[in-house]
């Protein structure tokens, strides 16, 4: 299926676009276009189109609004040194989008169609891809139920869309260690639940814990496993890494994908990049006590979180109901920053791409 191009007849003047891109924040400024593809049992995916960005009206009984059959993805397009534009591992996002769709009883968008939709939007709005350091064009593919009705069952109609926004660093203040709150009251995901799917409902359920973290004076919430409230899972919407030791002999550990963690593409890329650099990489279990003890006796030297939006963010301090401690000396560690640079350099075309992760669009 090819997308019908219906671009705006009144493109934004360059000066106005530059003004909007000057201080974009995160997810507040959108480009001039969007992509939409609809799905019905018959004829399947249809009416793929690129149109001007803008609102549309929905029926108040549209199923998504009531039962949250809704999934999304997040990836970025980066300006390369030669002026071209590339995304990072878009087929991995396409595959994860299919996995999320299966879990939420939604139709799977073919991977080629997912990538073509993203590419088409980036090609059309390429002038919106920033070239400043730490800036990029964030892409938000998502899909939601469009059937009208209140019966509880999978919708028989869906809409897939892609939006794009120029963004700067996710956390205000740049690469600065964050403080985290270990949530024992609330969990993000439970065995058999939707933790491994990138679905809207996971985020809705997480907001109260994030608010609690803020009340405790912390930047982010760290999620523990639902059964024992003992094993570290994730931080907010990012995966976590623990560094043991230092220098070339360091070991890098990330919680394994138990089914209640979101399989991050940044997480996966860092497993590879760390191994490429000779570090020992491990997927395993780490408990709250292991973390606290490891920081107390110095065996855990660095902790960082990773995800598309913020790339890598150091964790500087930890607080729970009965303890608080500092990670290392509370500043960004050398391995954290080495891996961050290695990943960003591949994404932005400043380094070789030995794993074929860059996907050049224009
Ligand atoms: C999206 C997401 C991540 C990070 O995934 P990336 O593919 O690295 O961006 C981690 N945890 C949660 C809960 C997420 O939603």
- Give residue limits of the domains in the chain: 4-167, 178-347
Distance 235 CA to ligand 1 centre (A): 10
From first to last of the 362 residues of the chain, give the pLDDT tens digit.
789 999 999 999 999 999 999 999 999 999 999 999 999 999 999 999 999 999 999 999 999 999 999 999 999 999 999 999 999 999 999 999 999 999 999 999 999 999 999 999 999 999 999 999 889 999 999 999 999 999 999 999 999 999 999 999 776 667 899 999 999 999 999 999 999 999 999 999 999 999 999 999 999 999 999 999 999 999 999 999 999 999 999 999 999 999 999 999 999 999 999 999 999 999 999 999 999 999 999 999 999 999 999 999 999 999 999 999 999 999 999 999 999 999 999 999 999 999 999 999 99
Pocket lining: 93 vs ligand 1, CB cutoff 6 Å: no
Query: What own/partner pairs with CB < 8 Å and gap ≥ 24 does 4-8 have?
Result: 4/47, 4/48, 4/49, 4/50, 5/49, 5/50, 5/120, 5/124, 6/49, 6/50, 6/51, 6/52, 7/32, 7/33, 7/50, 7/51, 7/52, 7/124, 8/32, 8/33, 8/52
Q: Strand 324-326 relative to strand 280-284: parallel, antiparallel, unpaired? A: unpaired
Distance 8 CA to ligand 1 centre (A): 33
Phi, psi at residue 281, to the nearest 5°? -110, 145
- Res 172: pLDDT: 65
Pocket lining: 238 vs ligand 1, CB cutoff 6 Å: yes
In terms of phi and psi (left: phi > 0; alpha: psi -120 to 50; beta: otherwise), the region of 113 is alpha
Model's pTM, two decimal places?
Answer: 0.97
- Res 169: pLDDT: 78
What is the rounded CA–CA span in Å between residue 36 and residue 302?
Answer: 43
- Res 312: pLDDT: 96
Pocket lining: 307 vs ligand 1, CB cutoff 6 Å: yes
Pocket test for ligand 1, best of 103, 265, 308 (most atoms within 8 A of CB): 308
> Domain 178-347, what fold?
D-amino Acid Aminotransferase; Chain A, domain 2 (3.20.10)
> Domain 4-167, what fold?
D-amino Acid Aminotransferase; Chain A, domain 1 (3.30.470)
Q: Do domains 4-167 and 178-347 have the same CATH topology?
A: no
- Res 220: pLDDT: 97
- Res 1: pLDDT: 74
For the CA of 96, the nearest atom of ligand 1? 7
Distance 54 CA to ligand 1 centre (A): 27
Pocket lining: 266 vs ligand 1, CB cutoff 6 Å: yes
């Amino acid at each position: 299926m090819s997308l019908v191009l219906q671009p705006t007849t009144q493109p934004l003047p360059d000066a106005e676009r530059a003004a909007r891109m000057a201080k974009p924040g995160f997810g507040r400024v959108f480009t001039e276009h969007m992509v939409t593809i609809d799905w019905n049992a018959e004829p399947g995916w249809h009416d793929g189109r690129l149109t001007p960005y803008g609102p549309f009206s929905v029926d108040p009984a549209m199923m998504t609004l009531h039962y949250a059959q809704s999934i999304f993805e997040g990836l970025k397009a980066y300006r390369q040194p030669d002026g071209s534009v590339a995304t990072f591992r878009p087929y991995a996002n396409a595959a994860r989008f299919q996995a999320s769709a299966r879990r939420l009883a939604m139709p799977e968008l073919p991977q080629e169609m997912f990538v073509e939709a993203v590419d088409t939007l980036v090609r059309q709005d390429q002038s919106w891809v920033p070239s400043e350091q730490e800036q990029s064009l964030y892409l938000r593919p998502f899909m939601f139920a469009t059937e009208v009705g209140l019966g509880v069952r999978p919708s028989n109609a869906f809409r897939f869309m892609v939006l794009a926004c120029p963004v700067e660093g996710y956390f205000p203040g740049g690469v600065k260690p964050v403080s985290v709150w270990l949530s024992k009251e609330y969990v993000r995901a439970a065995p058999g639940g939707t933790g491994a799917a990138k679905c809207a409902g996971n985020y809705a359920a997480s907001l109260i814990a994030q608010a609690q973290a803020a009340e405790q004076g912390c930047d982010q919430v760290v999620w523990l496993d639902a059964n024992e409230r003992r094993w570290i899972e994730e931080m907010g919407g990012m995966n976590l890494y623990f560094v043991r030791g230092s220098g070339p002999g360091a070991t890098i550990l990330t919680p394994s994908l138990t089914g209640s963690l979101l399989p991050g593409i940044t997480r996966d890329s860092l497993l590879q990049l760390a191994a490429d650099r000779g570090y020992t990489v491990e997927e395993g279990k780490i408990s709250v006590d292991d973390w606290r003890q490891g920081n107390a006796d110095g065996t855990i030297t660095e902790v960082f979180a990773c995800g598309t939006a913020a790339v890598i963010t150091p964790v500087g301090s930890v607080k729970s109901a009965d303890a608080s401690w500092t990670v290392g000396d509370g500043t960004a560690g050398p391995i954290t920053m080495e891996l961050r640079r290695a990943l960003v350099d591949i994404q932005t075309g400043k380094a070789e791409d030995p794993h074929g992760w860059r996907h050049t669009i224009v």
